[in-house]
Amino acid sequence: MAEPKAVDQLTLAEAKKEITPLRQQIAKWGREYYEQDNPSVEDFVYDRAYQRLVQMEQRFPSLVTPDSPTQRVGGQTSGSLPKVNHEIPMLSMGDVFSVDELMDFNKRQQDNDEMDANDPEYNLELKIDGLSLSVVYENGKLVQASTRGNGEIGEDVTRNVKLIKDVPQTLPEPLSLEFRGECYMPKEAFAKLNAKREENGETIFANPRNAAAGSLRQLDPRITGRRQLATFMYYVPEWRKLGVTTQAESLQRMRDLGFVVNPTNRVVHSKADIQQYIQEYTAKRDQLPYGIDGIVEKVNDLATQDALGATVKVPRWEIAYKFPPEEQATVVHDIEWTVGRTGNVTPTAVMDPVQLAGTTVSRASLHNPDYLQDKDIRIGDTVYLHKAGDIIPEISRVDKDKRPADSQPYVIPDKCPVCGSDLVHLDGEVALRCINPMCPAQIKEGLAHFASRNAMNIDGLGPKIVNQLWSKHLIHDFADLYQLTRDQLLTLDKFGDKSATNLLTSIDNSRHNSVERLLFGLGIRHVGAKAAQLLAEHFGSMDQLMAASAEEISAVNNIGPTIGDSVATYFANSEVEELINKFKQVGVNMDYLGQSPEEVTAAQADSPWNGRRVVLTGTLSKMTRHQATDWLTSHGAKVTGSVSKKTDLLIAGDKAGSKLTKAQNLGITIWDEEKFSREIEEEQ
């Protein structure tokens, strides 16, 4: 594809012909990014087109229109969340893409009488890959949180932000002020969220920014609370009320008030200082636990910021240096399909290995058939790779100019690559699934889940052991675990007599679990640990649940039709019935062993633990953290993850750290594990 003519070589007629479709394309991309949290192109593609539009409007001012993307901030608001008017507009930032452009921007600033051209002082900060957030406090209490929206009107996300752990609910001073910053999703949380969404057949997020935006704008705050969002605060519009005079002082003041402020800011005075900072964080970018897409430079003196002011869209006192895209070209040689434990069949591109963000990459997930077809990826294509969120290899685009002449569109398979069963699209999913629950690939992938802590809790049965058992044909389904012998285990690599004894003991102990653990361990779609608990409590046994209709299952409180249909469909399979019978034959418990909801409520009401807020920290030796939590919640306590003034008790195991220190400083009651164990014995 030929490069477009340089803007400085365009005639007015050529610019008129190009500018309308260019604006329409940029507006479409902007809606996808800001409003739908689902961009179809990479940031640098949008940035390149946007810069071309800016240059065209600068060269031909008569072509500027009020509805141009260059005249608007961010995106529009959705129709679902309440609206918030920003008394002080939340503006975007201008972008530059090279140090030379950054120096040109600085020179224009320094030509202004408001700047000290002899000793200009800037504060440099990392440009966090998230979305802008405003939080308002009255008399030190958090009263409102909102997104930027279009700069004038944002969306009210107060209920959601109150579930972000690092946003203070109360300030240590009775301030009535607005603070602004960035809401983001850490890289690790982003990777886990996308993996879970892919397993569930849901559309994945393109990058951490879109994951954060989609999470923050949820109508159900509980979803936001589970998404592990975080914030960095960086701006106070009414800075005089804080008693500060510089941006650097403002950041420190916010730290003192309990906000999380990125620790990497640096005050600089020269081009050399700026280049050093850019080089340092360009090199460190991949190692940071959060995504950044550039460096923000701000005039450090706040009074000078006010004097410099802003255009209709961007402040004149700050600019964003955007990192160049890190891409590598490679060739697709194959597309492999793998089957996950829930039957999700995922395509993966196999390519020539290339170096990308410090690692060698030769494979990239194509996520689902729609993704593969939308990008029109074919065998033999030259593609460009980048890392989504700096962690996940992803194909950004196909170079169709290099496509082989005999290229054919890739044909999506209709049979499971492992068991040969028909593949299907279930309602509302983008995923392609094998719905044979006895598919060997699903069983192998599901064995580690079956043995996991919240399922059957078979200690010592991790993925490496499962792979050996499978490859040696010692197990073919979950129930085969209960027929393993010592002699068989001794054939495994690095497996001695003690290891065999411990694993057999752990397997034997799991026979006596309450049935909700088995139900969760089976890996039925949509059935998590909580749903398994509710179903076991309601039906009392596996047999009663298997005999229930989808409607009867759906009617259980907090279950609903999605889980009801999934459970009924799963148990309607004759091979599943055979598996359950096999579990019975090897002595696996099929009954609910816990108290009924009514019994639990009555027991909690009489318990001295009822209503107490408890925090667990450190390593427990007599029980697992999960077991301790189960016991506490069953007795009416509320177990939380952080220490606050509302905490009633901290239970500290070995190597307790900052939570113990904080509890000591707050004067909270602290028990060691021995004290907790004695209390448990007295309750029994």
Catalytic residues: 127
Count how many Cα atoms sit within 13 Å of the Cα of residue 659 in the half-sphere of its side chain: 23
- Please state whether beta strands 292-299 and 83-85 pair in parallel, antiparallel, or not at all (unpaired): unpaired
CA–CA separation, 181 vs 220, rounded Å?
Answer: 23
Is there a contact between 421 and 442 (Cβ–Cβ < 8 Å)? Answer: no
| 3-class secondary structure, 262 | coil
φ and ψ at residue 400, rounded to 5 degrees: -70, -15
Is there a contact between 271 and 103 (Cβ–Cβ < 8 Å)? Answer: yes
CA–CA separation, 156 vs 220, rounded Å?
Answer: 13
CB atoms within 10 A of CB 372: 18
Angstrom CA distances, 623 to 357, 514, 627, 680, stand at 42, 18, 6, 12
User: Side chain identity at 373, as an amino acid letter?
Assistant: Q
Contacts of 336 (CB under 8 A, 6+ apart): 347, 348, 350
Q: Which two tokens mark 109? A: 């600033």
* 3-state percent helix, strand, coil for the chain, nearest multiple of 5: 40, 20, 40
Q: Which two tokens mark 588? A: 């696996």
Torsion of the alpha carbons at 125, 129, 132 and 137, rounded to the nearest 10: -70
Q: Which two tokens mark 143? A: 């009263």
Q: Which two tokens mark 190? A: 């982003």
Q: Which helix (H) or strand (E) holds 546?
A: helix 542-547
Is there a contact between 184 and 208 (Cβ–Cβ < 8 Å)? Answer: yes
Torsion of the alpha carbons at 668, 672, 676 and 681, rounded to the nearest 10: -150
DSSP string, 28-46: HHHIIIIISS--SS-HHHH
Contacts of 115 (CB under 8 A, 6+ apart): 109, 299, 304, 308
| 3-class secondary structure, 63 | helix
